[in-house]
C-alpha cells in the first residue's frame, strides 16, 4: 500500500474495505447506538476531555460551518485570525451566516502574532469569539494553539473556535 501524507483522499486498509462490504446497520437501532457511544467515549480519551465529543458526518468545511452556526448568531462579532486558505474559509462561512467579522490576516507562512491578536481583542472587546486554524494545510503553518487559547480564554474570556481538521 502506498503511504500518502496528504489531507485526502487516502489509501484504505484491506480490513476497512472488507468491513465496508458488510450489510449496513440501522442508524436508529441499538447496534448503531452502542457503536456511537463506544466511539465517542474512546474519543474523549484520545482528546483528553470529559466534555461531549461530536462526530460530524461531512467534510471538514461542514464541521467548521457547524461550529459557527452552533455557537454564534447573526449580528455577533467574531475575530478570524487567519494564516491561510482554510483560515479564510472560517471567514467566508461566518459572513454567510451574518456574523460581524473582523478579519485579522497574517502573512502566509507566518503564525498568529499574539501581540497583534491582543491589540485586536482590545479594539473589539465586544467580540464573542476568535476563530483560528490549528494546522494550516495550505501554508504548512502550525499555530501555537495553547498560546492562542491562553490569550483568548484566560486573558479575554472569549470563545475560541478551532479548525483542527488536519
| Sole residue written with cell 494546522 | 135
pLDDT in tens, 9-31: 778 899 999 999 999 999 999 99
What secondary structure letter does DSSP report for 12?
-
Range 27-53 burial, b when 16+ CB lie within 10 A, else e: eeeeeeeeeeeeeeeeeeeeeeeeeee
Domain chopping of the chain, boundaries: 14-46, 60-163
Q: What is the third-level CATH fold of 60-163?
A: 3.40.640
What secondary structure letter does DSSP report for 152?
I
pLDDT in tens, 105-154: 999 899 999 999 999 999 999 999 999 999 998 889 999 999 999 999 99
C-alpha atoms less than 13 angstroms from C-alpha of 90 in its C-beta half-sphere = 31
Amino acid at each position: 500500500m502506498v503511504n500518502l501524507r496528504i489531507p485526502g483522499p487516502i489509501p484504505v486498509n484491506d480490513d476497512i474495505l472488507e468491513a465496508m462490504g458488510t450489510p449496513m446497520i440501522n442508524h436508529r437501532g441499538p447496534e448503531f447506538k452502542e457503536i456511537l457511544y463506544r466511539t465517542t467515549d474512546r474519543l474523549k480519551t484520545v482528546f483528553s476531555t470529559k466534555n461531549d465529543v461530536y462526530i460530524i458526518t461531512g467534510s471538514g468545511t461542514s464541521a467548521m460551518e457547524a461550529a459557527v452556526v452552533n455557537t454564534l448568531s447573526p449580528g455577533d462579532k467574531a475575530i478570524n485570525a487567519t494564516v491561510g486558505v482554510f483560515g479564510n474559509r472560517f471567514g467566508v462561512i461566518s459572513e454567510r451566516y451574518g456574523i460581524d467579522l473582523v478579519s485579522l490576516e497574517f502573512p502566509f507562512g507566518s503564525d498568529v502574532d499574539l501581540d497583534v491578536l491582543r491589540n485586536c481583542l482590545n479594539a473589539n472587546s465586544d467580540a464573542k469569539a476568535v476563530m483560528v486554524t490549528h494546522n494550516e494545510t495550505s501554508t504548512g503553518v502550525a499555530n501555537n494553539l495553547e498560546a492562542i487559547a491562553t490569550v483568548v480564554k484566560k486573558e479575554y474570556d472569549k470563545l475560541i473556535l478551532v479548525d483542527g481538521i488536519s
